Amino acid sequence: MPRLDDVARAAGVSKATASRALSGADGVSPTTREKVQRTAADLGFRASGAARRLATGVTRTIGVLTPSVDRWYFGSVLHGIAHAADRHEHDVLLYDLGAFGRGGHEKFERFMLRGEVDGLVTITWSLVGGDLTRLAELGVPVATVGEPTPHSRSFSLDDDAAGEQAAEHLVRLGHTDLLHLASETEVQPFDASSSDRRKRAFELVSARHGLRMRPVQTVPTTLEAAHAAARGILARADRPTGIVAGTDEVALGVLLAAHQLGVRVPEELSVIGVDDVPAATAFGLTTIRQDPAQHGEDVVAWIISALGEPESEPDRSHTNYAPVLVVRGSTAPPP
Amino acid sequence: MPRLDDVARAAGVSKATASRALSGADGVSPTTREKVQRTAADLGFRASGAARRLATGVTRTIGVLTPSVDRWYFGSVLHGIAHAADRHEHDVLLYDLGAFGRGGHEKFERFMLRGEVDGLVTITWSLVGGDLTRLAELGVPVATVGEPTPHSRSFSLDDDAAGEQAAEHLVRLGHTDLLHLASETEVQPFDASSSDRRKRAFELVSARHGLRMRPVQTVPTTLEAAHAAARGILARADRPTGIVAGTDEVALGVLLAAHQLGVRVPEELSVIGVDDVPAATAFGLTTIRQDPAQHGEDVVAWIISALGEPESEPDRSHTNYAPVLVVRGSTAPPP
DNA sequence: ACTTGCAATGGAACCGGTTCCGGTTCCGCA
DNA sequence: TGCGGAACCGGAACCGGTTCCATTGCAAGT
C-alpha cells in the first residue's frame, strides 16, 4: 500500500505539496498538481482515512440512530440517508437501538461521544432531549426525522394536516360516524408524538362537523394487533361506517378483519390510512402519502450544509412535509 | 477533551503505561492499572478512535453491503448484524447499493478498499465474484448472507430444502396440480440463485410425484406484480389447486387476488410461501420460515472470529439453515 | 537596477494513540 | 551477600496524513 510519502517521492515533490495537490487545496501550480495526481493514480494511492481524520478531526461520516431498521418507515428514511450521504461522499454509521436492547444510553455514551461521526441524525424517539442538547453542545450537528423536537433541527410529516385530511376525506364523502384507530408509539417523545397529533386532528375534525363521538382506540403498530382490535370493533352491530387508521399497517389490519368478517369495503366500510406503504397499492388502500426517503435525503443535505458553516446560530427549525391524499378503492360514501 | 497524555500525567505514569493499563494489556501492576483507570474515568477520558486505528490498523468496524435496506429480508439481516456487532463492540458502516444507483462498482473502489472496515458482509448479490476474491486477497474477512457463493464464506437458507418442503406439504395434502410462482432476483448471482434453487426443488418434487406439469411463472418480488400475475392465473378455468410461491410477498399477492376473484382459500385454493414475514401471521399464510436476523448474528460472529485468527486458511464454507414449515390456514386438501 | 509582493514549495511539528526496546526494581534462591 | 530473571515501567519511534511557517523564485512596480 503506497503512502503519501511514496507518491511525493515518485513525483519529485514534498509530502506537503503532494497533500495539497491531492486534496484540492490551492497554492499548487497546475502542472505540479497534474503530475502528482497522475503519479498517485499510477501507484494506486489511496489516502488513509484514519490518518486524515486524526490530522483534521473530520470523519466524513454521519451517524444514524434508529429505533429499528426493519420497519418500513425507518428503512425508507435510512435508504434516503444512504443515498444522500453517498452523493456527498460521506459514510453512514448505523446504530440500531432496537438491537441494543436495554442500555441504549450507555451505548450512546460509548459510541457517539467518541468523535466517530461529524453529524448525527436520529430517527424519531431514538434519543431523549438531554442527549440531544448534549450532543448539540458538543458541536456536532444533530437533526431528527420523523417527529418534531424542540432540541434539534427536525423533519417530519405534518401530522396535524395528515390527520385532518384523512378525517376530512371521509366527512366529505358523507360519513358522520367514524372511529380513529391510533397506532401506538413505544416511547414517550419530547413533544406530542405523531400518533397524538393525528389523534388530536381527528378529534378536531369530529368536533367541527359534529360527528358521533367515539373514544379513540390505540393499538401497537403491527398488522397483528390492528387486526385483532379491528375484529372486535367490526363484529359489533353499531360499528362505525368509516375507520381512520393512524398508519397503513393498522389500516391493512382493518381491511383484513373486514374481509374475514364479511364486511365489504368500501360499500359497508371505508378505511383510510397514513403512509402509503408499497402494499397499499395492491390492496387499493386510500391513504395519506408521505415520502420518508425524501426526509432522509433532506436531513443529510441539512447536516452537510451545517458542517459547512460551524459557529453559526444553532438551527432548531422544523420542516413540515405536506401530506398528500391518495384516493384508492377503500373509501366511498357510507351505506 | 482530555488526551491519554493528560491521564498519564494525572496518574503519575507514562503514556505507555497508561495505554497498557487502559487497553487491558499485561505488564502493568494491578494497583497502577486501577489508579490509571480511575483517573481516566474521573477525567472523562475517551480514547480517540482515529488515533487508535492509525496506530493499530484496526477499525473495530464492519461494513455491510446491501442491495437495499427497505425490504424485509435485508432489513432483518441488518438488524441481526447490528445486534451482534454491538455485542462485540464493533460499529457498522452501511453501504446501501440501491442508493448508489449506477456505478456501485466505483463506490466499491472508493470506499471499501480504503481500509475503513476490517470485515465485510455482503447481502446476496451485492457484489460480483471478482470483487469478492479481490477483497479476500486484501486480507479482509468477507462473508455473504442470503445466497451461497463459492468465493466467500456464506450463510443462507437451504433453498433446495425450502422449495421441497413447500411442495411436499401440498402433495401430502393430496394436491396433484400445482403451480410455482417464482420471485425474480434482480441480478444474476454467482451460483444458482435462491429463486432458481426453490424452482428446481419444486420441479423435482413435481417429477417425483408425477404431478401435472405446468410451466413455472416468474414475477418481480413485489406484492403488486404477484397480485397482477395471480389474477391472470386464477381467472382461468383450469387453475391449479395449489400455488407454491417463491416468497411470502408473492404469496400474499396471490391471497389478495384470490380474495378479489372470490376464490376461497384454502377450500378452493391452497397457497404456501417462503419467509414467514410478520404479515404472514395475520393473513394466516402457511409458509416456510427462515430467520434472517439469526443469519445476521451468525455472519458477524464468524467475522469476529476470523479477525481473531489472521493468516489461517481462507474459510469458504457454507452454512445452510434448515427451513421450518409453519402451517396456518392457507393450505388444505384440494377440493 | 532594486525593492516589493505573491505564488509555489519544502521542512517540521502535530494529531493521539500503540508498541518496541532498554532500564529499574524487586523477588527468590544459592 | 550476590546473582539471575521476571515483572513493571518510561522514552521514543511510529502510524500517515495535514498545516504552519519559512524560504525560494519570479514578475511587476518605481
Determine the pLDDT at residue A126: 65
| Cα(B180)–Cα(B84) distance, integer angstroms | 36
Q: A9 at the B interface (CB within 8 A)?
A: no
CA distances from B89 to A68, B61, B81, B83, B301 (A): 18, 9, 12, 10, 12
Cβ–Cβ gap A69/B50 under 8 Å: no
What gap in Å lies between CA A254 and CA A217, rounded to an integer?
A: 13
Question: A212-226 burial, b for 16+ CB within 10 Å, e for fewer?
Answer: eeeebbbbebbbbbb
Taking Cα atoms as reference points, which of B121, B111, B108 lies closest to residue B80?
A: B121
**CA-based nearest residue to A271, from A250, A249, A242:** A242
**Biggest CA pair distance of chain A:** 88
C-alpha cell at B143: 462473508
Q: What is the pLDDT of residue A47?
A: 92
Would you say the C-beta of B16 is within 7 Å of strand D? Answer: yes
Q: In this complex, which residue's CA is closest to the C1' atom of nucleotide D12?
A: B16
Length of chain B: 335
Write the residue in A61, A111, A256 that is nearest to B283 by C-beta.
Answer: A256
Query: Is the per-residue pLDDT at B190 higher than 60?
Result: no
Residue A288 phi, psi (nearest 5): -105, 120
Strand D atom within 7 Å of A282 CB = no
- What is the tens place of the pLDDT at every residue in B107-147? 666 666 667 888 989 888 766 667 777 777 777 888 999 98
Of the two residues B126 and B330, the one the predictor is more confident about is B330
Strand pairing of B324-326 and B286-289? Answer: antiparallel
pLDDT of residue A227: 95
Q: Which residues of chain A fall short of a pLDDT of 50? A: none
Structure confidence by residue, pLDDT tens digits, A239-265: 999 999 999 999 999 999 999 999 998
Inter-residue contact B158 to B321 (CB < 8 Å): yes
pLDDT at B293: 96
Mean pLDDT score of chain B? 89
Instruction: Give the closest residue to B61 by CA, choosing from B53, B69, B71.
Output: B53
Q: Quick check: helix, strand or coil at residue B148?
A: coil
Closest CA of chain B from A334, distance in Å:
21
Whether B3 CB is under 7 Å from strand D: no
Residue B113: what pLDDT?
Answer: 63
For B258, residues 6+ apart whose C-beta sits below 8 A from its C-beta are B230, B234, B264, B265, B269, B271
| pLDDT tens digits along B2-19 | 999 999 999 999 999 999
Locate cell 418442503: which residue?
A: B165
Q: What are phi and psi of B114, to 5 degrees?
A: -90, 0
> Is the separation of the CB atoms in A132 and A74 below 8 Å?
no
Give pLDDT, residue B160. Answer: 95
- In sequence order, what DSSP letters do the residues of A310-332 get, joined into one string? TTSPP---EEEEPPEEE--TT--
State whether residue A259 sits within 8 Å of chain B by CB: yes
Q: Say whether the CB atom of A29 is under 7 angstroms from strand D.
A: no
How far, in Å, is the CA of B2 from the C1' of nucleotide D8? Answer: 25
> Could you give the CA distance from residue B117 to residue B62 in angstroms, rounded to a whole number?
5
Closest to B104 in 3D by CA, of B122, B127, B120: B127
Give residue A124's region: left, alpha or beta (phi > 0; psi -120 to 50).
left
Question: What is the reported pLDDT for B16?
Answer: 95
pLDDT value for B145: 94
What is the per-residue pLDDT for B56? 93
User: In 3-state terms, chain B is what percent helix, strand and coil (to 5)?
Assistant: 45, 15, 35
- Strand arrangement, sheet containing A242-245: A217-219, A178-183, A242-245, A270-275, A286-289, A324-326
Residue with the three cell numbers 440517508: A81
DSSP letter at A123 equals: E
| Per-residue confidence (pLDDT) for residue B11, from 0 to 100 | 93
Count the neighbouring beta carbons within 10 Å of the beta carbon of residue B324.
Answer: 14
The whole-number pLDDT of residue A82 equals: 93
From the list B86, B93, B98, which residue is nearest A93 (CB)? B93
Percentage with pLDDT > 70 across chain B: 90
User: Grid coordinates in use for B106?
Assistant: 466505483
pLDDT at B189 over 90: no
The pLDDT score that the predictor gives to residue B203 is: 95
Could you say which residues from 88 to 107 on chain B have a Cβ atom under 8 Å away from some Cβ of chain A? 89, 91-96, 98-101, 107
Helix (H) / strand (E) element for A96: namely: strand A91-96
CA proximity to B117, closest of B100, B99, B142, B146 = B142
Nearest to A315 by CA among A329, A325, A301: A301
The three three-digit cell numbers of residue B22, written as one number: 487502559
- The reported pLDDT for the residue numbered A176 is 94
Domains of chain B: 4-47 (1.10.260.40), 59-156+293-321 (3.40.50.2300), 159-291 (3.40.50.2300)
C-alpha cell at B216: 413455472
User: Residue B256: enclosing H or E segment and its boundaries?
Assistant: helix B248-261
Is B14 in a helix, a strand, or coil? coil
pLDDT band at B89 (very low <50, low <70, confident <90, very high): confident
Tally Cβ neighbours within 10 Å of residue A42: 12
- For chain B, percent of residues with pLDDT exceeding 90: 69
The model's pLDDT over A80-105, given as tens digits with 9 standing for 90+, comes to 999 999 889 899 999 887 755 555 66
CB B173 within 8 A of CB B331: yes
In whole angstroms, give the CA distance from residue A153 to residue B254.
Answer: 44
Provide the pLDDT for residue B83.
92
**Average pLDDT in the B278-307 region?**
96
| A232 Cα distance to chain centroid | 32
- Are A99 and B75 a contacting pair, CB within 8 Å? no
How many Å is the Cα radius of gyration of chain B? Answer: 26
Burial degree of A326 (CB within 10 A; 0-12, 13-18, 19+): middle
Backbone φ, ψ for residue A107 (5° rounding): -60, -45
Q: Is the CB of A15 under 7 A from strand D?
A: yes
CB atoms within 10 A of CB A102: 6
